[in-house]
């Protein structure tokens, strides 16, 4: 669970509604169902026009990743590849087949199965890179829908404001109604800006960040599989895997290796 996402949304709503608006009696002034229908309903309608249902049906699963991201422990991954490399060096790469069922990551399992089966290295890399491209494209679609919604929502907010102004100008004979009518007309602009800047854009940025991390981890897996297939030395495998980690994480890997060596 990503508590930063949830906390950010809750804090944003709280600060805007209770601190920004201030007096709780004024909150009702910012609730207008026709404005919601114009801004949110119009924006969603435009998104349905812009994208096929197959893309939109995957949006909920993409949004789920912003709150419950798929995490890959890269530090543990380094240790696993080093262990696999040492096993392959001692017993041969065919010995790795017995451990395939213990690998939960489908991308990892497929790549290692191809290596164990003796598939040509160029074919292995081509297949894994193709799958990486497809994963990246699927991730991009989710964030792109949110970015487009963020661009569309303020426009529909302005449309709602124009509708409100037309209705206000049509009833100029009663000066007492001008102020309240003007306030209602501006609420749609507020809704559009809120949808775009508190929800859509931040969630799109979060999804892009998680996508980059997942692609990096799977690239790391691909390079590890290729190293296993070529029979690289475990030390060289370790060096190659460590290049994907931040300096602090590299220290953790080395400390874990030292503890393991002492136990051995």
pLDDT tens string 109-150: 999 999 999 899 999 999 999 999 998 988 888 899 999 999
Q: What was the pLDDT predicted at 262?
A: 67
pLDDT tens string 78-115: 888 988 998 998 898 999 988 888 888 899 999 999 99
Question: Interhelix angle for 3-14 vs 59-67, to 10°?
Answer: 90
Distance between CA 263 and CA 259 in Å, rounded? 6
pLDDT tens string 46-86: 999 999 988 888 887 778 888 888 777 888 888 889 889 98
Asked whether the predicted pLDDT for residue 264 surpasses 60, the reply is no
What's the predicted TM-score (pTM) here? 0.82
> Residue 234's pLDDT band (boundaries 50, 70, 90)?
confident
Asked whether the predicted pLDDT for residue 208 surpasses 60, the reply is yes
């Amino acid at each position: 669970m990503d508590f930063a996402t949830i906390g950010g949304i809750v804090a944003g709503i709280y600060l805007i509604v209770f601190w920004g608006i201030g007096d709780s009696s004024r909150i009702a002034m910012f609730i207008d169902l026709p404005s919601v229908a114009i801004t949110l309903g119009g924006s969603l309608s435009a998104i349905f026009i812009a994208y096929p249902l197959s893309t939109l049906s995957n949006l909920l699963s993409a949004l789920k990743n912003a709150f419950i991201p798929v995490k890959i422990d890269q530090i543990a991954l380094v240790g696993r590849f080093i262990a696999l490399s040492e096993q392959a060096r001692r017993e041969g790469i065919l010995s790795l087949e017995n451990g395939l069922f213990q690998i939960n990551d489908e991308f990892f399992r497929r790549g290692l199965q191809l290596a164990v089966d003796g598939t040509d290295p160029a074919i292995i890399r081509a297949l894994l890179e193709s799958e990486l491209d497809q994963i990246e494209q699927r991730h991009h679609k989710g964030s792109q829908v949110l970015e487009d919604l963020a661009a569309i929502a303020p426009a529909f907010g302005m449309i709602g404001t124009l509708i409100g102004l037309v209705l206000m100008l049509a009833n100029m004979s009663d000066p007492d109604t001008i102020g309240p009518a003007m306030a209602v007309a501006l609420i749609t602009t507020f809704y559009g800006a809120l949808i775009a800047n508190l929800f859509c854009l931040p969630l799109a940025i979060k999804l892009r960040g998680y996508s980059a991390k997942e692609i990096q981890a799977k690239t790391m897996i691909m390079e590890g599989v290729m190293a296993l297939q070529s029979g690289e030395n475990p030390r060289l495998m370790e060096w190659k895997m460590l290049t994907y980690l931040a300096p602090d994480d590299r220290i953790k890997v080395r400390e874990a290796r030292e503890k393991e060596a002492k136990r051995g």
